[in-house]
Structure formats: C-alpha cells, structure tokens
Structure 1
Amino acid sequence: MMYVYFFLFLCLYGLACYYVAFNGYRWLKRSFGFGYRRSYTIIIVFLSVAFIASFIVSSRLLELIGGYWLTIVGYSLLLLPLVNLIYFLSGRKPLIHLLSGYILSFCFLCILIIGSFNAWSPTIRHYDVSLTEEPTQEIRFLLGADFHFGTVIGMNHFERFLQLVEQESPDAIFLAGDIIDDNMDAFIEEQIADGFLQLDAPLGVYAVPGNHDYYGGDLSLLTQELRSNGVTVLLDEHIHVDGLFTVIGRKDETDFDRKSIAELMEHANEQLPIIMMDHQPHETVEAATYNVDMIFSGHTHRGQLFPGNLLTQAIYENDWGYKQIDQLHSFTTSGFGFWGPALRIGSRSEIIMITVKL
C-alpha cells in the first residue's frame, strides 16, 4: 500500500511541476520569443528531481534547491489559476500577460527573501504568567522546539540559539522535541551534542522527543548523546526540581507505549506546580482536566508556510503562542528550526521566554 501512495504522490507532483513549467514556458515564449525548450526542460527536470533526490542522497544543496522549488510549485498552484483567469477575462491582452509574469516573478522573489529571513533569523517572544494568587518569587523559563538538526540545519543555526540563551539567562530550559531531522548522521558529524553543554540554566535543561526524533530509529542514541551533555531527557517520566515545581516529560504520540496523562499524574506531587512537556499539542484540553499548570509543546511550526497556519489552527486547541484553559497555561512554539523548505511565510523561527510567578 505504501508503494501505491508513493506512486500517486509522484504522479500528482509530476503533474503539478508540469503545470508550473508549462505556464512558465508559455510566458517566456509569448513575451520574449524564448525558444530554448530543451534547456528549459532540463532545468525544470533537475529542479523537480532535486526534491525527490534529497530524500535519497544526503546533500544540503539538493535539500535547499528541492525545498525552494517545492515552495514555488505550491504557491504557483494557488496563484496561477487566478492569474490565468484575469488574463482570460482581459481578452488575452499581451500587456496583461507580460505584467502577470513579472508580478508573479516578483512575488516568488519576495517569498524566497522574506521566507529565508523568517527561517534563519529567530525572534524571542515574552510572556508573563502567575500560578498563585499571592506569588513570592519569579522564575524565568525558556522554551525551544523543532530544531530539526540535519543536513540543512547545523551548528551555525544552533549557535544562534546558544547566543539567545546566553542573552536571556533563563533559570530553566525546556526543549519540546524534534531535536533532529529524522536521523543522527549530521548531528554526530557536526558534534552538535557538544553544544548542549553550553546551555547554562541553574534549574536544569529538560527535553522530550518529537516525532522526527523517532523516524530514523535513533532515539536511544539521541537520548544518550543529550544526557551525556547535561540534558535531562524525560520519557514518560517526572522530576521534582528544587522543591519549586514538577516536570513531566511525555513520549511522543509516535511511541505506541506512551503513557496516558492519568498514568503520569499518579506519581506527580500536586502540591507543586506541574509543568508538562508534550511535543504535539493534541491533548492540551485533557491536560487541563488533570490539574496540570503549564504545558509546553511544539510540532505545529505555526503552519510554516501560509496558508498552513489556517490548517494548524483548525487542528489544535493551541497551535501557536499562549492560551489559558481553566488553570492550565498552554504554550506552543512555532519552533527554532523548520522542516522541508528553508522558508517561513506567516511564521518565524523563535524561542519563548516565560516569566513565571510562583
């Protein structure tokens, strides 16, 4: 069955690429008399194959080119029908045809430039919450997720994260999954795990796995690497931190042996504020019913590329940012990295800083 789905995907992807290529060639030919069909075909085939090949061959260049091309194809499927309709309603005027191509080209250029900036230039979002009516102290938490370390995202981007951590000086750091992008190869080669030793937080650094941490079958190795570099990885486990709060870290939904919230809460000290880490924010409402005080998630990327954010909003109770449900304070980050195209439209790479009053 998997091969059938893959074949259908290839057919649909091929048709989409052909549709975009056909419209592009027609614009070039009618507007400028472009006649280099063979060269044009070779370029289009290379761009189209690059995306597929990037899943087979470990190549940063192929992944970047394939991701950019996939994004252009996706937005073309949204914009080209509208452009063609306007051209048809205008009486097929050559000037309209020429201008439409220029406008689309400008739009694609903006998508690549703005999308790259949003992906590679992370921001910090600040929130303040109070867990008691009469707080006596403040603790600063840093939440990061969806690093997707791999062929494209490496140590250079991690250095940006380390700089932000040093700048913010949090009391505790929470890493809500998807540390790697499906396999450990690049993570090991670039010795990214060593960078986690630089994370300085007096109340500890805590992590849970995300779905991509499972896909390559390297979760045990990833867990070992993180733990040996000062990160407390919680796999359906909990830990009491200096008598201040309890952290419960969940396995990802990908793991069929994952415990329920009810099972995890059996051994939690409800006299302390309970902070739950769950990569995918599917069970946010359920967590509220079990008196969890805070829940940290990632996974959604806030859709990463518009209009993906509309889909994540429809799926998740809190797909991005902050939402309070009864006593529960839910935080979902759009992530520090990205998956697939090295672009973000309608979202931005980020970390979240939370000042918690206890």
Structure 2
Amino acid sequence: METRYYVIFAVTILALQVLIYIFNRTLGWLYGGVLSQKGRYIFVFTSYVFTNSVAILTATRLFPMFRLLPFIMVFLLFSLFVSLALVLLAWVFKNYSKIHRTLAWLYPIGMAGLIGLGVYNAYTPQIVHYQITLDKPIRPLRIGMASDFHLGKLFGAKQLDQLAEIFNQQKVDLILLPGDIMDDNVDAYLSQKMQPSLAKLQAPLGVYATLGNHDFFGDQQRIVEQIKQAGIKVLWDQTETINNEFVIVGRNDDLVKDRPSTAQLLQSVDTRLPIFVLDHRPTEIEQISQLPVDLLVAGHTHNGQIFPANLITKLIYRLAYGHEKIGNGHFIVTSGYGFWGVPMRLGTQSEVVIIDVKGKE
C-alpha cells in the first residue's frame, strides 16, 4: 500500500479521536446530570472503543463497514458544528444558568436540522449551466452531463427517472456520463430493476459513458453489460467520431494503471474536429490542456460532499469543481448527481450540468 494511504489513515484516526472527544464533552456539558459518574465513564469508554473498532475493521478490511463508518464520522462532524454554535450562544448570553436548558433543547434540534439539510442537498439536484465557445467550428450544441450516480440501495430508479426528465426538459443533444455509474457492483441495480429507468436517458446524438473508480472494483464486466443493455455506449479507452462533426474520447479511470494516455488515444482521430474527453478523475488536467482537447468533463471529487472536505479537494486537484478555460480547452468538473457513503451533502449539492457549446465564427 502506498505511503499516502498510511498518512490518510493516521490523519483520519487522529481526527476521529478529536471528534469523539468533542462529542462526549458536549453531551457531558448539556446532559451531565442524566447519568451517574460511572455511567458517563462507561458511555465515553464505549464510544471510543466502538467507533475506533469500526474504523480499524473497515480500514483493514477484516470486517468492512463502508456505510456505517462514514455515517458515524458525518454524525460526529455535525455534532462538532452544532457544539460550536451552542458555545457561541452561551458566550453571547452570559447568564449560563438561564440558557443551559435552552441549549440542551437546541442540540438535538440543530443535529436534526443539519441532517435534514444534508439529505435535501443529496436528493434535490440543482441545474448548473455553462456556456463555452470553442476555437474550432461547430454548430450550436447542448450537452447534458452528470456523474457519480453510485447506483445502489440508497440511490436508484426514482433518481434516474428525475435525471431523464431534466435532460428532456433541457432538450440536450448529447449526454455524457463520466464515471461511477454503479456503487461497486450491480447487485442493487438488478434487484431493484433499475434498467428501464437508466434506459430513459436518451439524446439525439447519443449517450456516452466511461467507468469510474467504483465501477472498477471487480464487477466492471457486468457493469458495462448492464449499461450497454440500457442503450448507453461505454467507451473503454476508446474514441467515437459523431457525424464527422466532433470526437468523443472516453478514458478508463486511472485506477487502471496501464491505460493509454489521452495523447495516444488522439492519434487515431482527426484533431481538427472538436474533441470532447470524458475522464472520471480530474487528475491530468494540466497535461491534457497541452493537447488539442476542446472540452473535458470529469467528476469524482463530489466537491467534497461534506464540508470541509471541499477545502481538501481544492488542495488536491488543479480544478476540483466548476469550469475553467486552460489554454484552448474548457475543463468542467461536476459535484456529481448522486453521493457516496451517506445520503447527505453539506456545503455542496447534487447537480446536473448543462453545457451550451458554440464554435468559432
């Protein structure tokens, strides 16, 4: 395992201890009289043992709990936010004895409010519009783009129906889906019969997808077959020229270490035509900006999904979210239509991207 993963694990465990400590201090501050001293000690000890056990068992994959661990961490993070707000209130209203009971009531209300907001942001997509002008001639084109569905038990047919309706209302000419279509496998996709809903994603110039890292966790063959059966073309490090008007390049996620470079893929196409690249992770933006690529669409970052993770993604990627023109190319990274781990977003929102493309006069 690479050194960075050990560093990430160590930082995560350290952050977890801080969050557990603040959580227990908050409960002790607000509800200290509910339990005896012995009961409080048992509660604190149990919270540390249980939470760290879940983290270690998941990290070592001895008994992975990829749903439970993120939920615990998000819950503790939300507790931190509410605790900070209550401390501020206690400082503003100096008479602590009178406000203490109010703060004790506000804690669960604040937690419920943050969780409700997080669920709302995860399941209520916003439509984000971009207008770009290429340095090559092309007729006006409207592209619909969405990524990171993570189709599974918590996100499925209903959300796909909604996405299809949005694309239809927006009258898109082309749909691009840059990866993480499934959440690791197709088990939930098949059991919940999502194929008719996925097949509703249609556009006059076609629907094209690439695979993301979660599509490459061992079930990629079945994933590709299911996507194809829904009428969507999957590009495995492949190119497709559409009506001799533009070229679509679909790259496998960089989890595939021997994938060909974008430059290699472009050798087989006419680069005088507009080039649209689907690449799940925005890891090679600077290299690709040196190539005759006109538009790259990516996802993966989720724009952090839960604040303050968006600050971390900004440090990791040249472009972690949004649109930027670099050189002659336009680069767009979406926060994703779905979510990973927990059905919540804070500081970000589920989104569908609409790109209006114009060509050089």
The TM tier, using the shorter chain, reads 0.7 to 0.9
Confirm whether residue 341 of structure 1 aligns to residue 342 of structure 2.
yes
Q: Secondary structure at the match of 1:264?
A: helix
2:125 paired residue number = 122
Confirm whether residue 139 of structure 1 aligns to residue 124 of structure 2.
no
Structure 1, 228-237 or 172-181: larger mean CA deviation: 228-237
Distance 1:322 1:85, change over 3 A: closer
Q: Secondary structure at the match of 2:148?
A: coil
1:166 paired residue number = 168
Distance 2:54 2:340 in 1: 13
Q: What are the superposed Cα offsets for residues 55-102 of structure 1, whole Å, 9 maximum, x if unpaired?
A: 99999xx94x76554312023346647866996999994345445444
For structure 2, the residue ranges without an aligned partner over 5 or more in a row are none
Structure 1, 48-57 or 333-342: larger mean CA deviation: 48-57
Shift of 1:125: 0.8
Q: Secondary structure at the match of 2:289?
A: helix
Amino acid corresponding to residue 257 of structure 1 in structure 2: D
For structure 1, the residue ranges without an aligned partner over 5 or more in a row are none
CA contact (8 A) 1:295 1:331 kept: yes
Amino acid corresponding to residue 130 of structure 1 in structure 2: T
> Under a length normalisation based on structure 1, what TM-score does the superposition of the two structures give?
0.83
CA contact (8 A) 2:123 2:350 kept: yes
Distance 1:92 1:57, change over 3 A: farther
Distance 2:282 2:239 in 1: 18
2:186 paired residue number = 184
Confirm whether residue 74 of structure 1 aligns to residue 77 of structure 2.
yes
Q: What are the superposed Cα offsets for residues 88-118 of structure 1, whole Å, 9 maximum, x if unpaired?
A: 9999943454454444434322211211111
Distance 1:195 1:90, change over 3 A: closer
Confirm whether residue 111 of structure 1 aligns to residue 117 of structure 2.
no
Confirm whether residue 268 of structure 1 aligns to residue 277 of structure 2.
no
CA contact (8 A) 1:179 1:210 kept: yes
Distance 1:56 1:170, change over 3 A: farther
> Under a length normalisation based on structure 2, what TM-score does the superposition of the two structures give?
0.83
- Alignment length (residue pairs): 350
Distance 1:244 1:50, change over 3 A: farther
CA RMSD of aligned residues (A): 3.7
CA contact (8 A) 1:172 1:203 kept: yes
CA contact (8 A) 1:47 1:66 kept: no
Distance 1:58 1:285 in 2: 36
Q: Secondary structure at the match of 2:259?
A: coil
Shift of 1:48: 5.2
Shift of 1:24: 1.4
Shift of 1:169: 2.4
1:305 paired residue number = 306
Moved over 6 A (4+): 4-12, 42-47, 49-59, 84-92
CA contact (8 A) 1:120 1:349 kept: yes
Identity %: 29
Structure 1, 276-285 or 224-233: larger mean CA deviation: 224-233
CA contact (8 A) 2:151 2:183 kept: yes
Distance 1:142 1:81 in 2: 40
Structure 1, 101-110 or 262-271: larger mean CA deviation: 101-110
Structure 1, 72-81 or 195-204: larger mean CA deviation: 72-81
CA contact (8 A) 1:58 1:151 kept: no
Q: What are the superposed Cα offsets for residues 159-215 of structure 1, whole Å, 9 maximum, x if unpaired?
A: 221221222221110001011112221112122233232222111110011111112
Distance 1:347 1:7, change over 3 A: closer
Shift of 1:319: 1.2
